[in-house]
Structure 1
Amino acid sequence: MLRARRMADNVVVEAVVGQIVERVFSLAVDELVLVIGVKGELKKLKAVLTHIHAVLQDAEVKQVKENQVKAWLQELKQVSYDAEDVLDEIAYNELKYTTERLNKEKKLPGWLNNLSRLVARFKMAHRIQAINLELHDIDKRKSAFQLKANDQAGASSSLSVQMIDRETTSRLKDNVIGRESDKEDIIKMLINHHHGNNIFLPVIAIVGLGGLGKTTLAQLVYNDDAVKKHFELKVWICVSTNFRTTNLFFQILQQINPNNVVPESSSKQVLLQGLESQLVRQETKKKFLLVLDDDWNENQEMWEDFVFSLRDIVGTGSRIIVTSRDSNVASIRGDQTVHVHQLQGLSEYSCWDIIKSRAFKNGEPVKPSLLEIGKQISDKCKGVPLAAKILGGMLQSKREDHEWEAVRDADFWKVPSDGTKQIMEVLKFSYYNLPSALKSCFSYCAIFPKDYFISRESLIQLWMAQGLLGPSNNSQEEIMEDKGNTYFNTLYSKSFFQEAEMNEYGEVIECKMHDLVHDLAQSICKFECQNFRESNNTIDFSKCRHASFISPKTLKVLTKAKKVRTIFGSGSTSIKFDDGGMVGAIKISSFFKFKLLRVLDLSGFRGSDFSSSLGELKHLRYLDLSDTSIKSLPKWVTQLYHLQTLKLIYCHELVELPEDLMNLKKLRHLFIDDGWKWKKMPQAMGKLNELQTLPVFGACQKNGISVLENLNNLRGALEIRCLDLVREAILVKRANVLSKKSKLRKLKLHWDILSSIGDEGGDFRVLEELQPHPNLHELLIEGFRGVEFPRWMSNGSLLPNLKCMMISNCSNFEHIPSFGELPCLERLEIMNMSDVKSIGGSKDDRMNTTTTPQSSSYSCLEVLHLMSMPNLEEWSKGNEVITFPRLQKLSIANVGGTGVVSITSSLTSLTSLSITLCEDLQFLPEGLLTNNDQLIFLSIYRCPKFQAFKEEGLMVSNSSSLRELQIEMCYALKSIPDVRGLTSLQKLEIRWCQELEMIPKGFWSSLVALESLDIIDCERLKGTIELSPSSKHLREVRIHSCPNLEGFDICSNSSNQQQLVLFSCCRTLKIYDCNAILSIDVRSFASLRELKITGCSGLHALQGLPFLTALEKLSIGSFSPALHYFPPLISEDEGDDAVEFNNLLPSLRKLEIMGWPALQFLPHHLQYLTTLKSLIIEDFTNLTELPEWIGNLASLEKLKIKGCANLTHLPSKKQMQRLTFLMQLRIQGCPLLKDRCRRDGPEWPKISHIPDLRIY
């Protein structure tokens, strides 16, 4: 089956020509006044481009059907690129001349320098003259195509991009429509242990046409809560055409452990060993879900190699989901494929719902007449959601009937109904309807591989480096980054981008492209963009402009492409560089050959040879030196006069930036992080007036922070460090450092708390003059040594947009003012303020003795976090009354007990409450639980004096919302109230409460939603845990180190047969070190996967093991000395003859038995556990030999024998050799057997064939 990219080879030729010509036209106008020496040729260039530009819109339409027009446009595009490069070089030369003149660095006498400049202009004129000749020839040939002129040619109207009719595209989230039943069907197959029970690693294949939503459906399943709980590990891999077992194993390992040190080039065996170390913990294999998205592998041998290798290291119940367009891919899975889920198209109603959600702001047509037309369009989508999304996005800006009718009646619907072809036609149609500027921006994304998360910020900077974000013709004040955001939002709203990751403010920070959309982008730029990770195309080096994922081999080939503009490692360190000439390494000097580079990613370089020759890259605008070993910025970097973006992230050896950095007048984004080692910034940096990104700035003693004075275009986040070195507040005031920076959204001000310089008064005066612009959203203050904050920090009129404030390590405070006047404050964090006694009220309020109360309402506050404030007494001072009408999350750690009461007494809307390390807290404040009827999470941790819930409020219905309750290390807690209303509680944890004596029976009866129960290390806990049969959702029970707990039972009067299904969802039951428990009946836990009952020295009865048919792991032993037999594996009222021994615990994979001193022989029933893969025998001190029937355990892979002091004999050599899968044997603490297992001992021949053998 042909890939969609092959089908799309003739989709789009070079429709971006119009936008490139406009950009060259704009450059020509800009440079005309600067470079008088080439004025005449530039006029000619302007004239011919204007003439050609007039017919480009018609040419872009005709080139789809007329190959001669296509070839004409291709030739025009290449010449346009050449013209742009020449004009760019002219601009560079002028920037260089101006910079050297200002720096007085003329290397030649004045008259000779001017002569040199004239010679350079003369050369440029000749180059433009040659380009003009080519353009005149192209212009003459256009008449043969009978192209129609556009009346608005030269107006550059096509560059404008209308904002969509939405509040903001960045907040648009996809709601999946019409796939609920498909999702439910697949989830049932995943979590039903009977499904595929005879297959160790079943596969579910989701098969369907491209654009039907296979990936979306797999994501719905993958992120479902039930699936998350069912599988211990989940991994998602986009396979595409790159199905190599070693690559897949490496990707799985990377996702499970991001700190993995096993290199990608390792052998399959090494990678599998690394995987096994992650998937097997304490000899238990984890249940694992693997999704292989967009799988095109048709090699059955390769598939079997992958599955057979993987299934040996994953736990029972593991599953694989495969998505593919090719039904052959599913069929080669052979017996492993349990189910092929053939995905069908959506209904026309669902397609119409998708179109409406994207085309209209409120999801409904603004005109009734559009309703019928829209339904006709949705019918033509043939149930393909991608087509509906794309068309809905395209229709956003169309409101007239004739515009919708044009889409309904378009020619692309006439394509024969081959599903993928028709979808590609829809994509083409939507692409053709984009403005020329957006076409260029979209097609550039072909440089990224499939399933790659594209950073919004980086993408805009890359567009800018390629000249795709030229100045707006409508508003000279619209900067390139704002235009880039508009372009990104528009492409996202039109579904060219999807799967967006959002930040905390709901803004898109990264996204992906659907694989068919990616195919479209690659078909457009199949010659220009070469992605060496995926591309199999024959490279036309004359057209190659952009390359990504290079290697030493591909870089050598790439040197043939003389016009490359991008060498990009996609933000990874996968490119290995070296300066020592080693095989498989790249020398940085190799990049000198690419004279036209605009983007160069050298991240990950480990050598020290930063050749000065790279300073000749005159066009370079984007340079990434992140994660390199540089100690100082090379001189040649300061000669890159066009540079816009410089990335120096994770450059931990970098100690300084040069003063010559001021040469980079065009620099807009300088990325450094807080891993820096230098203590100051160059003074000349203040001349970089276009700088917008500067994450970290270091103040110095000499100039303070006056360097920032003129950097008023800074946006995003700024951290100012070492403010303790700034002593002259008057310099800060004079510089007016922050008040004019209207685009800053996040500001962190940092003083070194260990510094001995300065005093608290100096710190206050400096902070007072650092008042930010009112547009600020986040403010962080750390290490400030004043005794009070300046008034602007709590003034709502000065910080009207502030959403988040964080204050930490301000050691001299006793009182913190109220921030209740900040109208938009949503999050407040105050940490490590050990001397603070009160929060709230102004200084005047604290001095006021009147009785008139002053109200302070934190009207928007949703999150409050207080930590390490042990002396806090109250949240108000004087006459202030505090309210928190919207507070949802409250976290209190190491706060004085009276402070806790003061803070929590008036809360009414909490959903989450966490109290930690509050040593004086004895009771929860009265009314806290009853007043907060939406409380979902409650945690009380390490509060040693906490005695009880002061009120019986938990008994009322208000507590019915609580889903998770954690009580840990509350050493004074003696009882839990008789709760009746926790009907929504899903998770209960009681740990290390050593004085807890009683949990009343009534507590358990209302826990109908309980899923997880942990009671651990409660030494004095007595009575019986009686789980309610209503707790049907129970999944995990762990009870250990409760030596006085007397029983574990079910509150039920049901018959035995009814009890079998009481806890059908429960997968794990662990009870150990509970010495007072006499008997346990597990019949009610028929769906258990893991059972552990150990160290219960009083236990003399364990019933119900035969009913655990889904059990995979069993650990039992070390019970009462009175128990002289192994717990029965068959029903006690049946004899051996009545039992199907082949079905004895049919799912059991691991058995650990321990601590039966009285037993001299292993129970004979164990020989029928034929599915067993791991067997551990421990502390059988009277056992003298292992039985011959051990050879019946045909699946056994691991055997461990420990602490069997009298054991002398293993089974016979014949029986040991029957264990053909046995790979590992451990013998520990068995002195008699150890002696006989020496190489010259009588037991050695029985075990010498085992690969992994240890005796100690």
Structure 2
Amino acid sequence: MADLVGGGATGVAFDLLMQAVLDVTIKIAGFNSELDHLKSTLISIKPFIDDIEKLNRVLNWRQQGAEALANLFREGEKLIRKCMEIRWWNAIKKYSHAKKLEKYEASLLWFFQINVQVELSRDGKTVAVGVKVLEEKMDKIISTQDNGRSVNSNGFSGWCGVPGVPDFVVGLDAQLQELKGMLLKDGVPIVVLSAPGGCGKTTMAKLLCNDDEIKGIYGNNIFFQTVSRAPNLQLMVQKVFQSIKNQQVPIFQSDEDAIYQLEQLFLQQVGQAPILLVLDDMWSGSESLIDQFLLPIHGYKILVTSRFVFPQFEWTYKLNMLNHQDAMTLFHHHAFKDGICTVQKHLVEEVVRGCSGSPLALTVVGRSLYRQPQVNWISTVQNWSQGQSIYDTNMVLLSRLKTSLDALDGMEVLKNCFLDLGLFPEDQRIPVAALKDMWVELYNLDEGGMYTLIYLHELSNRNLVNLTLVRKDDQDANDYCKEHFVMQHDLLRELAVHQSSQGSIEGRERLIVEINGNAFPEWLTDRNHQPINVRILSITTG
């Protein structure tokens, strides 16, 4: 793998290719379908490119062959830029070039599916040897410790050690105290820290584990595990064994055996001391894992972080977005050297408002504007005010937040219900009754509104909407729909709008028209435009 992706040249070539796609998509409408499809492919590749480049820098693996992939990206950039040279009336040339774009995307996919798989197979053996050596070295380091746990100055502790906190954190002090109070309350075995993606859940968990009071209570008995999308319980238990001195990892016969062995380990090695297990980034569908890890040991507690809400667990702390003052502070840290503003303040205000209090968005957008001239700031503000999405130029932000939407794959009606919410104006309460009327017609839901409520509750449990839950016990579903409302965070609404706007206008299911003054979209007044067969039309007039 390292042969194919090495050094910064590949990353630069990839970024130039992505920028070409974005530039041409904005300026030329004739190839939107092909470019949108290619953009989706590039977004899926981007995290892979970033991770491999990081590994290359750390491991200093061989670099030959990296130029092959960089050249493929450069070839794509040139091909895409040529779209701008083709006149709109030249249908034959447009058709021919569209086929070239499709062929290029196919070659890109082929490269990753064939060439990369070969490299993975070859380099896998090298990685396996390296991991074996690393494990042996770690075993020696752990075995030399006198305190039973291998802890360094950065807070690393064995295989389940507590990670260090980020170098700059703002706006979480009050919420940290509230979360800590909930966790330390008697009779609370499990606390779920829940919020949409990018709100700082993992950062909050790290702050909690590094808090002096928490460390004073739990000492070295804090086990921090990041949970994968497809968690392996036995592997997670193995990591706990590896974190405790002189513990040989047993071979587990089953998940039940692994949990039994973990309980015995805690009773024998930790005794009566309190224990805190952190399960970071738990996904929907893995809730049973939490129950399995809940052991009948006095003083044992579990903290779960998740972008989902798990109603079966009583104690849930919902993390809030940053207020405007804290958002400004965080943004200044990432956007300016030493946090000192070097552009007009009103531009900073506009950009920060566009990030809607999301720590992830403030960080990503701030870094993208770092050391940029003021004209770039002006362009960003103007583009956003004219309807361009924050996701169009921030692929990292899109890839991180889109995972919540990707989790709805296979649940098409639920996914469509989320996308439909983008049809309504931002910062407005959406009547549940209006959604019920729409979804009865679109998805053949029951007229009584029961399934509308079921879908809205599911979206709420996934932190994709805020659903008003104030209702009387004697209200039926129909009364409930008439009296209650839904609201959606700005970044999630913009994600719904962005996803609904992919592909050619003629092929969309939803069409969102935003009219500011007399500024009508060009396609709306183009008499030569092809017929549009959308199912839902949303018109906003300022």
What TM-score, normalized by structure 2, do the two folds share? 0.45
Greater C-alpha radius of gyration: 1
Structure ranking higher in strand proportion: 1
